[in-house]
């Protein structure tokens, strides 16, 4: 009986340690993915707050006024696609929802599997990347353009 207890305790301990390792890896990958997008934004995105304002580099602290659920003076993003193509030639567009913390490059691979597990920079990561369906033209001229992505809540 004592031996059975030790075996069960050891098994429970190993399961617990494996779970902690998996959680650590999950959070590490999410942090790496977020850092990658912040670096891309700093390199390739310029934000114009108003047509009369001068351009300024993208900043996470940029304030956008919001009143009664309506975004006032949403920023205009100026995307340097040549700079993005230096990092990843599969880039086809940029998706942005002002005031919603959604602003990402969109890539299009040869299939709909690769970017589920790889970041924009091509690193293996469970966070994946926002990507366009491989069957779309890539020029946004199709009747419907399908974009895949998921909310990582970070």
The residue behind tokens 């996470």 is 60
Does residue 140 come out as left (phi exceeding 0), alpha (psi in the -120 to 50 range) or beta? Answer: left
Which residues share a beta bridge with 93?
Answer: 106
In this prediction, residue 65 carries a pLDDT of 47
Give the residue-averaged pLDDT of 52-68: 46
Q: Comparing 134 with 71, which gets the higher pLDDT? A: 134
In this prediction, residue 33 carries a pLDDT of 86
Which pTM value belongs to this model?
0.73
H/E stretch holding 44 reads: helix 2-44
H/E stretch holding 76 reads: strand 76-79
Q: Are 25 and 124 in contact (CB under 8 A)?
A: no
Q: Per-residue pLDDT tens for 2-55?
A: 889 899 999 999 999 999 999 999 889 888 888 898 899 888 988 876 644 444
Q: Please give the Cα distance from 83 to 75 (Å, whole number).
A: 20
């Amino acid at each position: 009986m004592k031996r059975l207890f030790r075996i069960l305790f050891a098994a429970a301990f190993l399961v617990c340690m494996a779970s902690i390792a998996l959680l650590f890896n999950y959070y590490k990958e999410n942090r790496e993915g977020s850092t990658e997008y912040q670096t891309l934004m700093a390199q390739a995105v310029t934000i114009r707050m108003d047509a009369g304002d001068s351009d300024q580099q993208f900043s996470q602290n940029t304030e956008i006024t919001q009143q009664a659920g309506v975004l006032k003076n949403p920023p205009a993003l100026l995307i340097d696609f040549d700079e993005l193509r230096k990092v990843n030639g599969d880039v086809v567009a940029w998706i942005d929802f002002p005031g919603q913390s959604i602003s990402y490059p969109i890539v299009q691979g040869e299939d709909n599997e690769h970017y589920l597990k790889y970041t924009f920079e091509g690193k293996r990561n469970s966070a994946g990347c926002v990507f366009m369906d491989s069957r779309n033209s890539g020029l946004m001229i199709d009747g419907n353009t399908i974009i895949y992505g998921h909310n990582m809540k970070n």
